[in-house]
Amino acid sequence: MKEKKMTFTVENRVAIITGGAQGIGKSIALELAKAGANIVIADTNAEGIELTIKEIESIGRKSLGVVCNVANAEEVNKLINISNETFKKIDILVNNAGITRDTLMMRMDEKDWDLVMDVNLKGPFLLTKAASQIMMRQRYGRIINMASVVGLMGNAGQVNYSASKGGLVAFTKSVAKELASRNITCNAIAPGFIETLMTEKLDEKVRENYMSVIPLRRFGKPEDIAALVLFLASENSSYITGQVIGVDGGMFMR
Ligand code: NAI
């Protein structure tokens, strides 16, 4: 494959990526590392963390892996403290960890509502609150939240997931307003259908239905998301905050 021309840089920045052990989060971690950042991977999957860390180090960057459930305040505070002790700053936070527990609302258990809300919405709140204290002191920060196209358009079978992602979009806008005066930007990305383990479990009929509404007629790759994260994490995006940007092959146009 032809080598991509490097346009954006995050040289010597420190980035925390939640859910960085696989899929989109891993691709983001590698993209930011290639562009010069040192990386903290926070995930519940210890084995996946180890593999990602090895790849980051082979690129020549420093990295730290922390087993952390983003929905647990104590674990999140530990993560932020150890990251700051290790690297002396936190410049970039990517709230990427997310889960699905899909079923029609009539069949959905309260526990599956709560679990999805805890990981997808409370998690980013806990991380953003803790990391932004450090970013405020630095007077610099880039916060990037992984929402979803279904948080904007809704989806049958995903009332919990779509509500969590819609909430994340509103959270992003409010955080952007609260932190702008400290030179901290906060933006959301709304991916469409991206080929990862999360979407691999969907049956063929569902995949066909998605494909039929994607004007670019292909599913996305984790690298399609990572490219935008790099831009939003770089200096080049300094006048962009409170935005939600779709990376979905044209599936949803506002
Ligand atoms: P994935 O399932 O492949 O990876 C998610 C990662 O998050 C895993 O490494 C997992 O261990 C970690 N994780 C799960 N719960 C956690 C917790 N409580 N604390 C810390 N880490 C946790 O998912 P994928 O596809 O890479 O998705 C990443 C993000 O992108 C998610 O927020 C997802 O909702 C969002 N997204 C994905 C789309 C897709 O088509 N794959 C579409 C739209 C949004």
| pLDDT tens digits, 4-29 | 565 899 999 999 999 999 999 999 99
The model's pLDDT over 197-239, given as tens digits with 9 standing for 90+, comes to 989 988 899 999 999 999 999 999 999 999 999 999 999 999 9
The model's pTM is 0.97
Pocket of ligand 1 (CB under 6 A): 18-19, 21-25, 43-45, 48, 68-71, 96-99, 119, 146, 148, 191, 193-194, 196-199
Mutate which of 78, 193, 196, 245 for ligand 1 pocket (most atoms within 8 A of beta carbon): 196
Handedness of CA 46, 124, 118, 165 (dihedral sign): negative
Atom of ligand 1 nearest to the CA of 69: 19
Residues 6+ apart with CB under 8 A from 96: 17, 18, 19, 20, 24, 25, 28, 146
51-68 confidence digits (pLDDT tens): 999 999 999 999 999 999
Q: How large a percentage of the chain has pLDDT more than 90? A: 94
CA 201 to chain centre: 20
Q: What is the mean pLDDT of residues 179-192?
A: 98
Residue with tokens 């809704």: 154
Question: What are the φ and ψ backbone dihedral angles of 243, each rounded to 5 degrees?
Answer: -100, 155
Write down the pLDDT at residue 3.
Answer: 64
